[in-house]
Amino acid sequence: MQIPVGEYFDAFITWILNHGKGFFDVLSSVLGFVIGVLENILLLNHALLYPAVVFALIVLVFVGFAFKKQLGKASWIVAAVLIVIFGVAEVFRYQTLERKYTPEEAQAQVEALDQFSADLEAQAPENYDNVVSALEQLQDSMPQGDGEALEDARREVGNSLRRMERMRPGRFDSTADEIEDVLTALAPVEGAPEDAVEQLQTLESRFRAYSLIEETQRMSRTLGRVDEPELRMNVVNERTYDRYNELLGVGSGVFERDGLPEDLRERLDTISSDFKQLNPRVLTWYPWAIVIVLMTLMAARFSSIGLGIFTALGMLLVVSMGLWYETMESLALVLAATFFALLIGIPAGVLSAKNKGVDSVVRPILDFMQTMPAFVYLIPAVMLFGLGKVPALMATLIFAMPPAVRLTSLGIRQVPHEVVEAAQAFGSTPWQMLVKAQLPIALPTILAGLNQTIMLALSMVVIGGMIGAGGLGEVVLQGITQLKIGLGFEGGLGVVILAIFLDRLTQAFGKKR
């Protein structure tokens, strides 16, 4: 007798989703807010005030306390000077931003792309007709014979032809997908008409370019709707600028290859050149430099000079590969997952160590969480939270939390019985015994759990790229799906650098204790 466990679980998740939608919406908002705050701080988001304030406080506390032994009271003076320099740089950046990013420039971008889009749409009906004609020609000239591949190709050509005849103008992506499906079906067929295949390849490139130009237009409209210069700067952040510039460049290249009229090609080149004047790196190069300096100082102060040098060189390599934004996205997700894992895991570990009944319940749950394949966590997370960073955070939290619980419980259990008796003899309450005796002694073990939690979270964050979490996981996934070995290696190298930094730093915290 077969038991449909999977169907029961699916029904259970569906029931939770139906009856707890409001709760999951609130939870998703809270988790998304936490991730956003961490990302803004790590990237020193120039459009908001609190990242600069929080970062300044971090510098003040770190330099003031961490170097107090070496510098004495002068450490606070050094920290204050660094904060003043940072504040002056931020004021200069804002003033330059206010002069450079004007609504008139944004409106000019919108109008230029609107006109260009209109000119493209004027050509679209002819190109739709060309697709239908190419499919009809292909259907009439398909090679004779039998075979599964040939039958599949004939069927795909017929289905695509019927769908294209009903396709509404403006469905650029859908048209390109139809052509791609036909070309994929024709790939294993010998004797396919080369002229029709080449024409379809050209048309696919053209419709892909149409969709790229549409996306750039949406970006420009977003830019044009923002009045405040600091918010406008946030819209044209480094990642958006890179994507926008890439789309314009790809569109120009595709159209040039496929014979776009010269006047339109020149206009597209002009739009791309104008947009390059909005390059935010002119004003935002130093946030990554400041973060790298802080990470290097942390590594050198708490671990070793060698780790500090490695951190500096590794992070500069990440910047040179163009993966700084993705690395900070992944780091923000790791830190958020670790924070919630410790918030839940340490109290659960303490309860498990002090109560055998709780331990008998918690232990099999932890076994389940640790042995279940990591990919499986993505399924309920996506069902409950959709795609994005929040489901990746939930899946990461479930996967990375067991070491925090187990090692906290182990650390409390390993506290010498003599210490517990001595605390009881002096009349300590259970809370005083926990806070002043057991937790300090168990801290090295708890920090080992922190180390393992961070490592598991980082490994899961990469897998989270499959569900739209962004970061280095998305880079690795692009390398896999597009067979770009170099891109996948760069993403993996960024993960390795980040993992070594976090691993050695947390190990150093445990050893110093």
Q: Domains (ranges, CATH) in the chain?
A: 10-42+321-512 (1.10.3720.10), 103-277 (no CATH)
The Cα-based distances of 240 to 14, 83, 261, 356 in angstroms read 36, 29, 28, 53
**Residue 132 CB contacts under 8 Å (≥ 6 apart), including other chains:** 161, 164, 165
How would you write 410-423 as a 3-class SS string? Answer: HHHHCCCHHHHHHH
Tokens coding 71: 């510098």
Closest CA to 501 of 212, 322, 270, 294: 294
Average pLDDT value over all residues in the chain: 77
| Mean pLDDT, rounded, for 58-85 | 78
- Average pLDDT of the residues in 243-261: 59
Answer with the residue of higher pLDDT: 264 or 179: 179
Predicted pLDDT at 177 = 80
Residue 237 has pLDDT above 70, yes or no: no
DSSP string, 200-232: HHHHHHHHHHHHHHHHHHHHHHHHHH--SHHHH
Contact in structure between 415 and 437 (CB atoms under 8 Å): yes
Cα(126)–Cα(474) distance, integer angstroms:
37
- Per DSSP, the three-state class of 228 is coil
Kind and range of the H or E run holding 169: none
Contact partners, residue 226, CB within 8 Å, separation at least 6: 106, 232, 235
Neighbours of 290 (CB within 10 A): 16
Model confidence pLDDT, tens digit, residues 434-457: 888 888 888 888 888 888 999 988
Q: Confirm whether pTM is higher than 0.75.
A: no
Percentage of the chain lying above the pLDDT 70 cut: 76
* Residue 298 near residue 310 (C-beta atoms within 8 A): no
pLDDT at 231 over 60: no
Question: What token pair was written down for 484?
Answer: 């770009």
Using one digit for the tens of pLDDT, what is the confidence trace for 289-334? 888 888 898 888 888 899 899 999 999 999 888 888 888 888 989 9
Residue for token pair 């015994």? 433
Confidence band (pLDDT; 50, 70, 90) for 512? low
Distance CA 184, CA 177 (A): 10
Please write the tens of the pLDDT for every residue from 117-168. Answer: 677 666 666 677 778 888 887 777 777 777 777 777 778 878 887 887 776 6
Of 348 and 229, the one with more pLDDT: 348
Distance from C-alpha of 351 to C-alpha of 218, rounded to nearest angstrom:
53
Using CA of residue 289, residue 293, residue 298, residue 300, what is the dihedral sign? positive
pLDDT band at 487 (very low <50, low <70, confident <90, very high): confident
Per-residue confidence (pLDDT) for residue 247, from 0 to 100: 62
Give the burial string for 364-394 (b: 16+ CB within 10 Å, else e). eebeebeeeebeebbebbbebbeebbbbbbb
Dihedral Cα 268, 271, 273, 278, nearest 10 deg: -150
Higher-pLDDT residue of 477 and 45 is 477
The Cα-based distances of 307 to 282, 311, 330, 502 in angstroms read 30, 6, 20, 10
Burial of 169 (0-12, 13-18, 19+ CB in 10 A): exposed
